[in-house]
Amino acid sequence: MNRKMIIIIFVLILLSNVNIAQGLEQGIQCYIEKISFKIDNNTDDIEYDVLFYDDLPYMSLEQIESIYNSDIDFHDIDKEVDIKRYRDFDECNPLEGEIFVYGTIKILDDEKGYIEIEQAFDHNSTEIEGRKEIVDDLVIILKRGDNKMNIAFKDLKLGDNIGMVLNANGKVRGIILEG
């Protein structure tokens, strides 16, 4: 008799949980609409499909990262979002054939995408020569004190003192300008 009673109680518990779960079900009314963004009065419109709920826009972290040219990492375990207001690049990795060099900008060509520096040497320097091509996704960081921000290649000036990371193919993938 005890065994039947236990089975009946178990079935009742299962059925009641199903009913509770059905009661929690809720419909969400939302829609997707394309909206434009203007960043710092820039005339180039950036358009994204955005989810609207209760007439408020909701965006993915990837969209926000793209709009603000920042790095956003979501840590699923902690349920935490880490936001850097600038896009960073990985440190130079000599094991992958990369080198880091210091120097003063001698030649810049934004249209052709190259840079040439007058190299500064220390005891660890690897000499580079000539113009260096830049990668399409070049990251340039302007660092002033504890603050960092990204700038465009066209914002560099002749005479700027910089540090550059060259990838294994000899192309510039990252530049640091201390200002």
The CATH number of whichever domain residue 119 belongs to comes to 2.40.50
The reply to whether 105 and 157 lie within a common domain is yes
Number of domain units in the chain:
2
Q: Specify if 18 maps to a domain.
A: no
Rounded-to-integer distance, Cα 84 and Cα 34, Å: 26
The reply to whether 131 and 155 lie within a common domain is yes
The reply to whether 49 and 125 lie within a common domain is no
Q: Specify if 66 maps to a domain.
A: yes
The reply to whether 118 and 159 lie within a common domain is yes
* Structural domain harbouring 156: 94-178
Rounded-to-integer distance, Cα 99 and Cα 94, Å: 6
* H-state helical runs in the chain: 2-24, 61-67
pLDDT of residue 121: 87
Q: Specify if 17 maps to a domain.
A: no
DSSP summary character for residue 92: P
The reply to whether 49 and 102 lie within a common domain is no
143 contacts: CB under 8 Å, gap ≥ 6: 176, 177, 178, 179
pLDDT of residue 13: 64
Q: Specify if 60 maps to a domain.
A: yes
Segments of the chain with pLDDT less than 70: 1-26, 40-45
Kindly state the helix (H) or strand (E) to which residue 105 belongs, with its residue range. Answer: strand 99-109
Q: Specify if 155 maps to a domain.
A: yes
Question: Domain end: 21, 50, 84, which one?
Answer: 84
Q: Specify if 11 maps to a domain.
A: no
178 contacts: CB under 8 Å, gap ≥ 6: 143, 144, 161
Q: Provide the whole-model pTM.
A: 0.66
Q: Specify if 135 maps to a domain.
A: yes
Q: Specify if 2 maps to a domain.
A: no
What phi and psi values does residue 127 have, to the nearest 5 degrees?
-75, 135
| Each residue's pLDDT tens digit, 131-161 | 999 999 999 999 998 889 999 999 999 999 9
